[in-house]
Chain A
Amino acid sequence: MMLTNKKFYGLLLLVFLIILAPHGLTAYKAHDNDYDSEQFLLAYPDAQGSKLDNCYLCHTGGQVGKKYLNSCEYCHEVYGLKPPYGDSKQTLNAYGLAYLEAGRSQEACLLIGGLDSDGDGFTNEEEIRVGRLPGDKDDTPNTPEAPAVFYTREKLRSLPKTKQFMALDTAKSGDYYTEYVGIDVWTLLKDAGIRKDATDITVFAADGYSMSFDLADIKQKYPQGQFWSKFPWIDFPANTRYRDGDKLSGSLKYLIAFEREGIPLQTSKIVVADGRARLDGEGPYRFISPLHQPVVPDRSQWSIDRDDQPYPYNPNRPVIRNADACIKSIVAIRVNTKDNKSFHYDWSGQAWKMIDNGELVIYGAIK
């Protein structure tokens, strides 16, 4: 094939760009702010507070190793929380990719309204108008509402209770030992009628945060660690019966907690301090994840002496800090199967009302 002059110089330019320019390319950083959500809500104001008003409108979950990660976790895994960043484009679903290619703006949202990004037979706009995800082929206007069981304060407390004194190992905000009381998650899922083909659950907080957990992990009991009062980065109740170095009694389970130190969990609300919104409180329900191995909580990421011995802060520690997976103010648990992580039940507009009423919904792969 003969190269024309135009093609030749085009090729030359390309070669130079390849040699000289790759380090100038930057990754797509969607999580720096809420810009993209704002553009979508400007285009579709009725979607505010609905399930479309969430990261998973544009971002997908994915399999990492043996574990399925939902959109929040998958993005954190692929893109990372700190540089050097990965490519967040990999985490976009078909709608997110279409939005990106159309220019990431309010106009882009409207421009791609007529497309059927997920190929499910409905245009993006048709799906958005009825609150279905335009980037998820399993969520269409014809998808029936999934079975759901609502739990009230009374109904939850009528189930067998579990009490566990445990360590919460945080990255930044200080570690602590405390006693949580609640319902072990597997008992609750059985009570809700979990199906045999269920594989994992996704736990949703009122503020939209979510995490997924394998049922194989949920069913297990985990060994207790030791109690340490000598490390000043780990707080503990003044009236604890444990002494430094004592083995903590019992074993640990995943819980839906409603009490801490014998007191109902403080009802969550969003407060604004120093210009930043943050969640205050952890209740009425908090999803409690145990440490999978009995390690000593490490130093705070936010301390000047975090690299000192003993237990320096280790960002690459293989034992996950359990507080990262203890989700405050939970309102919904979706039970997933291997093939369906999109069971439809739109609770999102009701989230803060559910917080005030002490309600929790379990939906998806249940009978």
Chain B
Amino acid sequence: MYRDKLFFRVIVLIGLVLLSAFSVAAQATDLNVNKVQSTSFVPSETGQYTFTLNSTGPLDLPAGLEVQVDFPKGYNLVQGDLLAANPGCSLASLQYKEEKDRFYSILTGPTQVTQTATGVRFTLQIAKDAKDSLKPGTNLFLLLPGVINPTQTGAQALTVNLISPAGPRYVANTTVMLGNPPAAAPRNLQVTALNSQQVTANWDPVANADRYHLYFARVPDGHFNLAYDFRRDPNPGEEWLLQETSTVYSGQGNGGLVAGGTYYFKVRAGNEFGYGPFSEIVPVATKEITLLFADPAPGQEVSINSSLKVVFDQAIKISDLDKVQVFKKSNGAPVETNIQVDGAKLVISPRLQPATEYQVVFYGGALESVGNPGVTNPFLDWVFRTY
């Protein structure tokens, strides 16, 4: 009797398990491409394509998931080695962020480019499981760098496939439009230092342009980066849409501009397809507080009762007293000092010992101009001796 009961219960249990599994599978999930962005939709240029995908049901992103994008004939793809020192265009990824997350989850893995009868296929195989199933409606971003656009303008049909190792396959179709950017380069680029850490740039507008990109470099023949102040991870597909013909830059995200540094700038105009030719290159030096006079001067020998008198090119205040130091040169020990400021003059009274070498140091940002806020000193140092 109890065997029958047990059998019945086991059957019910199995049935419920199958029903649950079926109901999960039956939540038919459609994949849609909401948006396709690229750093360039200009014929023959290379861009990073970002596909914003969206599913109507929960989406599992297990290890082994294949993300395929089929491009029509005329496209090409450059992919490098993720583990190389210079990985090139191999940083393809799937990214998503749910409400509970502070950061985007980034899923990566090996990539492959294969020629097909209809064009070229990109494949990214996800190496590591996502922890959770993606909730319906959550944006899933596919970042695909190294896409070389075909040579013609016009519409191009693309297909995105998500193929789970467990079987389900999701397909979404989309179309992108290729076109030409503004033909003219911006003129009259003017870059002015506002202070030690900021410069401002402005230029004449370009016909048929609705956006601009300003670039900077450390040397005139060097590589130019986007001059956009940014101090966080970019969100997938995030763009710099500078619609004005002026901007302020302080180098945030790339270490920051330094007092007295020289930088080089250029600008180009763009539209929804991409960006046109560059303007001329314009140099600018950031402002700084300059040392005019120091007593004792570098290498000078003075008595132990001497005070140090330092004169700058403008009235100053001390931003951080700990950044003005007199060190005993032999051991780097800081010397007790009393510091007084009088306009552009600074008097340091240290406790000196006889026959000793000292190093005066103003760390960067120790001083700030009274009349020009944000103008600071670069690193300054010199050595003197006592007799």
**Chain A residues within 8 Å of B, Cβ to Cβ:** 2-3, 8, 11-12, 15-16, 19-20, 23, 26-27, 82-85, 153-154, 157, 172-176, 229-233, 235-236, 238, 244, 258-259, 261-264, 266-267, 269, 281, 284, 293, 295-296, 298-319, 358
A280 to B241, CA, bound (A): 34
Do A84 and B130 touch across chains, with their CB atoms under 8 A apart? yes
Asked whether any CB of chain A lies closer than 8 Å to the CB of B132, the reply is yes
Asked whether any CB of chain A lies closer than 8 Å to the CB of B117, the reply is no
A317 and B101 in contact, given A262-B381, A304-B238 (Cβ under 8 angstroms)? no
Tell me which of B24, B129, B130, B131 contacts A27 (CB under 8 A). Answer: B131
A353 to B48, CA, bound (A): 51
- Of B79-87, B299-307, B310-318, B347-355, the one contacting chain A is B79-87
A324 to chain B, nearest CB (A): 16
A302 and B230 in contact, given A83-B131, A314-B91 (Cβ under 8 angstroms)? yes
A295 to B216, CA, bound (A): 23
User: What 1/0 flags go to B6-27 for Cβ under 8 Å of A?
Assistant: 1001000100110011001000
Q: Which residues of A contact B224 (CB under 8 A)?
A: 232
Tell me which of B16, B87, B105, B216 contacts A82 (CB under 8 A). Answer: B105
Tell me which of A15, A83, A157, A262 contacts B101 (CB under 8 A). Answer: A83
Do A229 and B219 touch across chains, with their CB atoms under 8 A apart? yes
Do A174 and B13 touch across chains, with their CB atoms under 8 A apart? no
Do A12 and B13 touch across chains, with their CB atoms under 8 A apart? yes
Do B258 and A235 touch across chains, with their CB atoms under 8 A apart? yes
Of all chain B residues, the one with the shortest Cβ separation from A284 is: B332
Do B361 and A153 touch across chains, with their CB atoms under 8 A apart? no
A316 to B81, CA, bound (A): 11
Do A235 and B223 touch across chains, with their CB atoms under 8 A apart? no
Do B219 and A296 touch across chains, with their CB atoms under 8 A apart? no
Q: Which residues of B contact A284 (CB under 8 A)?
A: 332
Q: Which residues of A contact B143 (CB under 8 A)?
A: 307
- With A264-B325, A304-B238 known, 10 other A-B pairs at CB within 8 A are A15-B13, A15-B17, A20-B20, A84-B129, A154-B330, A157-B331, A232-B223, A304-B228, A304-B234, A315-B106
Do B218 and A319 touch across chains, with their CB atoms under 8 A apart? no
Q: Which residues of B contact A295 (CB under 8 A)?
A: 85-86
A329 to B305, CA, bound (A): 33
Do A258 and B105 touch across chains, with their CB atoms under 8 A apart? no
Asked whether any CB of chain A lies closer than 8 Å to the CB of B217, the reply is yes
Asked whether any CB of chain A lies closer than 8 Å to the CB of B253, the reply is yes
Do A230 and B322 touch across chains, with their CB atoms under 8 A apart? no
A301 to B363, CA, bound (A): 27
A173 to B255, CA, bound (A): 5
Q: Which residues of A contact B221 (CB under 8 A)?
A: 230
Do B332 and A269 touch across chains, with their CB atoms under 8 A apart? no
Residues of B332-387 at the interface with A, using a CB-CB cut-off of 8 Å, are 332-334, 359, 361, 363, 379, 381
Do B254 and A303 touch across chains, with their CB atoms under 8 A apart? yes
Q: Which residues of B contact A258 (CB under 8 A)?
A: 332
Q: Which residues of A contact B278 (CB under 8 A)?
A: none
Do A175 and B255 touch across chains, with their CB atoms under 8 A apart? yes
Do B322 and A2 touch across chains, with their CB atoms under 8 A apart? no
Q: Which residues of B contact A304 (CB under 8 A)?
A: 226, 228, 230, 234, 238, 240, 253
Q: Which residues of B contact A232 (CB under 8 A)?
A: 216-218, 222-225, 254
Do B2 and A174 touch across chains, with their CB atoms under 8 A apart? no
A27 to B130, CA, bound (A): 13
Q: Which residues of B contact A309 (CB under 8 A)?
A: 88-89
Q: Which residues of A contact B334 (CB under 8 A)?
A: 264, 267
A174 and B128 in contact, given A82-B105, A261-B379, A264-B327 (Cβ under 8 angstroms)? no
Asked whether any CB of chain A lies closer than 8 Å to the CB of B256, the reply is yes
Do A267 and B145 touch across chains, with their CB atoms under 8 A apart? no
Q: Which residues of B contact A15 (CB under 8 A)?
A: 13, 16-17, 20
A82 and B363 in contact, given A231-B223, A267-B322, A296-B86 (Cβ under 8 angstroms)? no
A251 to chain B, nearest CB (A): 19
Q: Which 8 residue pairs of A and B lie closest in terms of their CB atoms, listed nearest first?
A: A174-B255, A230-B222, A264-B332, A295-B85, A83-B105, A84-B131, A302-B253, A153-B331
Q: Which residues of B contact A298 (CB under 8 A)?
A: 86
Asked whether any CB of chain A lies closer than 8 Å to the CB of B246, the reply is no
Asked whether any CB of chain A lies closer than 8 Å to the CB of B133, the reply is yes
Of all chain B residues, the one with the shortest Cβ separation from A266 is: B363
Count chain A CB atoms within 10 A of each CB in B21, B106, B255, B333 and give the residue with the most: B255
Count chain A CB atoms within 10 A of each CB in B83, B105, B108, B333 and give the residue with the most: B333
Q: Which residues of B contact A299 (CB under 8 A)?
A: 225
A236 to B48, CA, bound (A): 30
A20 to B231, CA, bound (A): 40
Q: Which residues of A contact B379 (CB under 8 A)?
A: 261, 263
Q: Which residues of B contact A231 (CB under 8 A)?
A: 218, 222-223
A345 to B89, CA, bound (A): 49
A4 to chain B, nearest CB (A): 11
A96 to B110, CA, bound (A): 37
Do A82 and B106 touch across chains, with their CB atoms under 8 A apart? yes
Of all chain B residues, the one with the shortest Cβ separation from A236 is: B218
Q: Which residues of B contact A310 (CB under 8 A)?
A: 86, 88, 223
A229 and B222 in contact, given A83-B104, A157-B332, A295-B85 (Cβ under 8 angstroms)? yes
Q: Which residues of B contact A229 (CB under 8 A)?
A: 218-219, 222
Do A311 and B230 touch across chains, with their CB atoms under 8 A apart? no
Q: Which residues of B contact A312 (CB under 8 A)?
A: 87-89, 91, 145
Do B20 and A316 touch across chains, with their CB atoms under 8 A apart? no
Q: Which residues of A contact B145 (CB under 8 A)?
A: 307, 312
Do A316 and B222 touch across chains, with their CB atoms under 8 A apart? no
Of all chain A residues, the one with the shortest Cβ separation from B226 is: A305
Q: Which residues of B contact A230 (CB under 8 A)?
A: 217-219, 221-223
A261 to B381, CA, bound (A): 10
Of all chain A residues, the one with the shortest Cβ separation from B260 is: A238
